[in-house]
Structure 1
């Protein structure tokens, strides 16, 4: 595997990780503090959608 391909895969993993971190934050709110932090959910949901779209777009643009 070329160095460029490795870097692209590393960048894709980074982008996926960002989405997973947001999803994890949503999970924590649902599991632990829904009744207090429910107002954070719409903003987090929007961030999650954007993060997943960006990761999928990067993947498509780079043939991964």
Structure 2
């Protein structure tokens, strides 16, 4: 299996390197493995859906 670095994946998916690190830490990228202090991401990994709140309005269910 071929793996990509965080930088290569960030360029491929057009998002920041830090966002890739967060996705890996949250186990949102299937097959990503941590080697020492860096991540290896499978070349065929699918970009996860962005589930962050973008509207600026955060509503709590009370």
TM bin (shorter chain): under 0.3
Give the structure-2-normalised TM-score.
0.23
User: Larger % of strand: which?
Assistant: 2
Indicate the structure whose relative CO is greater, using CA pairs within 8 Å and at least 6 residues apart. Answer: 1
